[in-house]
Amino acid sequence: MLEKLQAHIRENFPFLENKKLLLATSGGLDSMVMVELFRQLPYEIALAHCNFQLRGVESFEDQKFVENYAEQYAISLFATQFDTTAFAKDYKLSTQVAARDLRYNWFYELIEEEQFDYVLTAHHADDNIETFLINLGRGTGLDGLVGIPSQNDKIIRPLLLFSRIEIADYAAETKLKWREDSSNASNKYLRNKIRHDVVPLLKELNSNFVSTFQNTQKYLQEAQAMVEDAAIMVYQQVAEQNGETIHFDLLQLKRLPNYKSYLYHWLKEFGFTAWNDIYDLVESQSGKQVLSTDYRLIKDRDTLLLVPMLESSSHEEFFIEKEVQEVKIPLKLSISKVTDRTTSSNTTIFVDENKLVYPLVLKKWQEGDVFQPFGMKGKTKKLSKLFKDEKLSVVDKENIWILWSADTIVWVVGLRQDERFKIENNTEHILKLEIQ
């Protein structure tokens, strides 16, 4: 087993040479075999043990066992204790998810604080089978069927090529001691039910089930790689990023026979889960949107817009007192007194200061807001009509700020000045307003 592991590392993890490794060690069979193997290899290792305090005295006996092993072989040990039950309750998580989050967060803290290069965990081939079957029962996509990754950022899983039987046989041959987790015998958890009842039956039906399953996952991983390549090529044809907003061209997208699959592939990393709503959005009217925790997907004519969730309220107001020369929030605006008007633009306007009522107010537009466009004396126009004429997207409209004087619009900032504040022949005090 040691030689097989060495060959596996040389082929798949050659970068581990001369690296500082932290081995996640529960004291159970799998992790103790991993520690014993790496103890015999030329690597700088240390152990990390999490006491989740879920099994009373047993949990502390596990910790003591690992401490004794580390002391016996003069291996550095990092141990911590978690109130897993309280954490799970506070964050409304299952016990298993809470333990996983606590464990990996702590591992990354140790990487940062103690300058470790990688953390090694003892997941093996049977763990992969169990995970596959769990995800299969949940109706997962391809991502849930390709198996536990052998590397995920700083987490390395070097034992995935070994079966549970191989690991147990090695422990027996070397007379290795380990701690038995009593919860593993219970069928309380789905994984244990699969481990005790389903996987043994599959192995009974096919004596080579582990190896054939590994081949199947290899084919699935190859298929996933092809999907990734296709998704990248199609993305370049239908998507365009502008700042924090991604635009998906629906006319191009709908020409694809499997456009729903592409949408799923592109959007899953943004936390979306309401897939039927997203697919319906393609044929919805403009303005409809689907939300994830941090993002919005908005239908805007022939485009889907992916944008971060708004941080500011549409009802926020920012006041500008007289003599203020610079505004930094919510946008950068300079205000200066000038003697002559030069060329106006979308970003620069000139107004008659005597017509202003202070404080001026910057706020977002509301449905029904009306202004008098510059050059259209006596004629008013709804902002919604202006935005439609300018072909602004839903997101563009949300980002527009309006400068008000009392109950009258001075400037649709960055777009159009109001006629009522323009410079006249008798204007004595001219203000220049410019957005940066």
Rounded Cα distance, 227 and 142, in Å: 10
Do residues 77 and 108 lie in contact, with contact meaning Cβ atoms separated by under 8 Å?
Answer: no
Question: CA 179, 184, 190 angle in degrees (round to 5)?
Answer: 155
Do residues 435 and 349 lie in contact, with contact meaning Cβ atoms separated by under 8 Å?
Answer: no
Phi, psi (degrees; rounded to nearest 5) at 295: -135, 160
Question: CA 63, 64, 66 angle in degrees (round to 5)?
Answer: 65
Cis peptide leading into 359, omega within 30 of 0?
Answer: yes
Q: Is 183 annotated as a binding residue?
A: no
Phi, psi (degrees; rounded to nearest 5) at 139: 75, 40
Match 């979306």 to its residue by tokens.
272
Q: What contacts 417, CB < 8 A, 6 or more positions away?
A: 344, 349, 351, 374, 410, 411
Residue 352 tokens, joined: 């008659």
Task: Go through the chain and tell me how many residues it has.
Answer: 436
Q: Is 27 annotated as a binding residue?
A: yes
Helix (H, G, I), strand (E, B) or coil at 412: strand
Match 């919860």 to its residue by tokens.
183
Q: Is 302 annotated as a binding residue?
A: no
Q: Is 31 annotated as a binding residue?
A: yes
Q: Is 94 annotated as a binding residue?
A: no
Q: Is 77 annotated as a binding residue?
A: no
Rounded Cα distance, 427 and 424, in Å: 5
User: Which of 392, 65, 26, 293 has its CA nearest to residue 183?
Assistant: 26
Rounded Cα distance, 383 and 380, in Å: 10
Q: What contacts 60, CB < 8 A, 6 or more positions away?
A: 51
Please give the annotated binding residues, written as ranges.
26-31
Please give the annotated binding residues for ATP, written as ranges.
26-31
